[in-house]
């Protein structure tokens, strides 16, 4: 299969921010909710845009909650954020092999930039599409289509890699190939139910799929 462009989700796919996200939601919920949430319930908030998750808690205090969440999240990035195994070496190998690489995330652009910097991938990607760069978030195809527009990519030779069903659905909606990651906090069976073209056991599996080794 010929692939020339590879787009990646960020959190839960390239960098492990799960504990950071859970800690930031916990911090926010303690301030704004009378209900006690389990870890499993908080994990359900991971993936969609922050505003959509917080809307379920209290639709009348979304701005306050977003501010509390983001202050905690940014302040603790360095404490939690790291790349998943084989990710950095794989990204370097793909870049050296001439692939066009992009990030498509539901994070704000500058927060995504911070995550890339802390995980040692600051200058690897040719495009970064954050939540503030589009009108519609994944699973709408707009973020992927926007990234492909920046990269002058052909959907027939583009692959979207992600840890959430939103990523796989967005890929289907944009007409590109898709790959799920087996290390998703959601459980691989959630991704497999959405029929990705590939399932990566570790990121380096991607090299063989696209013919780098």
Reduce the DSSP state of residue 151 to 3 states and report it.
helix
The β-bridge partners of 200 are 181
CA distances from 146 to 44, 46, 92 (A): 27, 23, 23
Largest CA distance in the chain: 53
Q: What is the spatial distance between Cα 131 and Cα 188, in angstroms, rounded to a whole number?
A: 25
User: Residue 166's closest CA among 148, 135, 183, 142?
Assistant: 142
**Strand pairing report for 100-104 and 158-162:** unpaired
132 catalytic residue (yes or no): no
Residue from 9, 16, 163, 167 carrying the catalytic annotation: 9
Query: Catalytic site residues?
Result: 9
């Amino acid at each position: 299969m010929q692939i020339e462009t590879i787009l990646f989700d960020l959190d839960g796919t390239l960098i492990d921010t799960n504990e950071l996200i859970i800690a930031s939601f916990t911090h926010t919920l303690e301030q704004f909710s009378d209900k006690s949430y389990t870890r499993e319930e908080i994990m359900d908030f991971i993936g969609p845009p922050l505003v959509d998750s917080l809307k379920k808690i209290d639709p009348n205090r979304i701005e306050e909650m977003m501010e509390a969440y983001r202050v905690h999240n940014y302040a603790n990035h360095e404490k939690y954020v790291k790349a998943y195994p084989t990710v950095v070496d794989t990204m370097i190998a793909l870049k050296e092999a001439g692939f066009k690489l992009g990030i498509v995330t539901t994070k704000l652009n500058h927060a995504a930039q911070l995550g890339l910097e802390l995980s040692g991938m600051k200058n690897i990607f040719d495009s970064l599409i954050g939540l503030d760069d589009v009108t519609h978030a994944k699973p709408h195809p707009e973020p992927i289509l926007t990234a492909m527009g920046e990269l002058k990519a052909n959907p027939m030779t583009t692959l979207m890699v992600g840890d959430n069903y939103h990523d796989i659905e967005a890929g289907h909606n944009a007409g590109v190939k898709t790959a799920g990651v087996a290390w998703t906090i959601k459980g691989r069976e959630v991704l497999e139910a959405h029929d990705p073209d590939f399932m990566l056991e570790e990121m380096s599996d991607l090299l063989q799929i696209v013919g780098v080794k």
